[in-house]
Amino acid sequence: VSGPVRDLGAPELKTLVDDMFETMHAANGAGLAAPQIGVPLRVVIFGYADPALRNPRYPDADPVPQTILLNPVLQPLGEEMEEGWEGCLSVPGLRGVVPRATKLRYAGFDLDGRRIERVAEGFHARVVQHECDHLDGILYPMRMPDLSRLGFTDVLFPELAGQPDD
């Protein structure tokens, strides 16, 4: 379980976030959490600067705004859950079907200490939940009620074979 960022203005955070984007882009990922690169702080990144640039791993997904979120807090809105495929850089070579809250509100701070608060649905909400789970040491298979729907990416999605995980 990662600890909170205590100094939102610490200059090392910029370096950390730069490293995280580099790792995420190298893996064609939709997001990344700081503990995935060995830094146990509550920092996540996700999304794309250019919403027209869809993730090749999730070509049908709605665009997600590029976001840096420090000390995130999530609040599901409503009871509705939906299933979707997920992969993870920390669980290489696999994908699984994970139920997630369809809609949520999330809040946190950017690198300038400004508060971010948004309502997200669908893939956007899924990515936020996946990344924030990393901060609590939870990987997506731990959210799967049915492990028969966990499998190797190159078998389940041959068209994605050879691509890195996210």
Show contacts with Ni ion in window 75-104 (CB under 5 A). 88
Question: Which residues are catalytically annotated?
Answer: 131
Find the shortest distance in angstroms from Cβ 30 to Ni ion. 9
Question: Could you tell me the strand order of the sheet in which 31-33 lies?
Answer: 31-33, 43-46, 67-76, 103-109, 115-121
> What number of CA atoms fall less than 13 Å from residue 101's CA on the CB side?
17
With contacts defined by CB under 5 A, how many residues of the chain interact with Ni ion? 1
Between 70 and 88, name the residue whose CB sits nearer to Ni ion: 88
Minimum distance of Ni ion from residue 90's CB (angstroms): 5
Which C-beta is closer to Ni ion: that of 8 or that of 149? 149
Q: Which is nearer to Ni ion, 68 or 88 (CB)?
A: 88
Q: Which residue is nearest to Ni ion (CB)?
A: 88
Residue 106 in contact with residue 73, Cβ under 8 Å? yes
**Distance between CA 47 and CA 67 in Å, rounded?**
6
In angstroms, the CA 83 to CA 143 distance is: 11
Binding residues for Ni ion, per CB under 5 A?
A: 88
